[in-house]
Structure 1
Amino acid sequence: MDETKFQNKYRIEPARLEDYDYGANGAYFITICSKNKICYFGDIVRDNDRPIIQPTIIGQRAIDGWLSIPEFYPFVQLDAFQLMPNHLHGILFINKPDYNDWRPNAFGPQSNNIPSIIRGFKSGVTAYATIHQIPFCWQPRYHDRVIRNDNELSRIRQYIENNPAQWAQDYENKEGLYM
């Protein structure tokens, strides 16, 4: 890309590791947000003094869509998952026993990798919202992190599990409290 064009003002850096194969076996921490961080997915409420998500219709569809990922991608195993009012966190394991063809991340068509999995998930939720005339939109991108070891996996699992308890202090929580 010509770095001088637009004086490098409008260029968005890729969010992916440059030489990593996002279809390779491994663990991936995924965060996906709603557009403009609008709280489409539900409210955090107290249940037996424990904060949990009370999902909206589109929130429940996001949960159901996430849980159905292995139906479309049998090589994916789901791990920790948490829906929040305006985002979700999840851990995906890719497990392809015979995979040995390393393909570094590249621009272009994607299949059987994290970008294609997330695209399928997001488009399924969006299609449901469109069919049922539910106002909803995703943020265009998502965040991912390749989980590098068991210690990191444990910390991320704990972060995901504790996320609802942190909602009262989240700057995106306009009310500043639980419902």
Structure 2
Amino acid sequence: MTHIPSTSNRPRQPGYEYICAEAYYVAIDTHQHLPLFEDVQLRMIVERAWRALPDRFPAVRLDAWAVMPSHFRAVIWLNEPSTPMAFKPSIGTVVGSFKAFAAVQWAAWLRDVAPERPAEVWQHGFYEQFIRDAHQLTNVRRYIGTIPDSHINSV
């Protein structure tokens, strides 16, 4: 099994165009690495936000993903848009939208149910790794599928 580090704010590859039809491994940590996703309601909000991405960005296709107590891991595809005038999102735009949507939904739920709880969900930034070939894609999917204490999903 290939180990994929979970560091955040990794520098981008110089000269690489990140708006392309390719697969990415994405890792996102919770605020202060707390086990926030042990809360079933927050985990459901995160799962709904992730599943909604293709509705917001038609060029996005979801692959294997997992919600762990203190982080989220996924493979996401950025495909060419179906029409020439369609919006081509970058991986940063897609992940930022996902994080924002989940955080807003969580804050709204807390206001109604548990206003004393802190609303922070995510650590700043995220880690992404461009998946270069089918072998690496298989290894990343296997890695996501074997993470202990996770809720594994595949589309």
Same fold (TM over 0.5): yes
Matched, 1:121 2:98: yes
CA distance in 1, matches of 2:148, 2:58: 29
Bigger CA radius of gyration: 1
Higher RCO (Cα < 8 Å, 6 or more apart): 2
Listed as ranges, the matches of 1:43-82 within 5 Å are 56-82=40-66
User: Could you give the per-residue CA deviations for residues 102-160 of structure 1, whole angstroms, max 9, x where no partner exists?
Assistant: xxxxxxxxx71100101100000110121122533210010000000000000000000
Q: How many positions carry a matched residue from both structures?
A: 133
Kept in 2: contact 1:24–1:99 (CA 8 A): no
Contiguous gaps of at least 5 residues in structure 2: 1-8, 111-116, 151-155
Q: Contact 1:40 / 1:56 at 8 angstroms: preserved in 2? A: no
**Who is 1:91 aligned against?**
75
- Gaps of at least 5 residues in structure 1 are 1-12, 43-54, 101-110, 167-179
Q: Could you say which residue in structure 2 is the equivalent of 1:40?
A: 36
C-alpha root-mean-square deviation of aligned residues, in Å? Answer: 2.4
Q: Which residue of 2 aligns with 1:26?
A: 22
Q: Does 1:138 align with 2:122?
A: yes
Offset from partner CA, 1:85-112 (integer Å, 9 cap, x none): 0001100111105799xxxxxxxxxx71
Distance in 1, matches of 2:124 and 2:50, equals: 18
- Say which SS state the counterpart of residue 74 (structure 1) adopts: coil
CA distance in 1, matches of 2:60, 2:134: 18
**1:112 to 2:108 alignment:** no
Give me the whole-angstrom Cα distance separating, in 2, the residues matched to 1:59 and 1:132: 12
Correspondence 1:16 to 2:12: yes
Task: Report if the CA contact (8 A) 1:15-1:143 is conserved.
Answer: no
Deviation at 1:33, TM superposition (A): 0.4
Q: Distance in 1 between matches of 2:59 and 2:20?
A: 11
Match in the other structure for 2:114: none
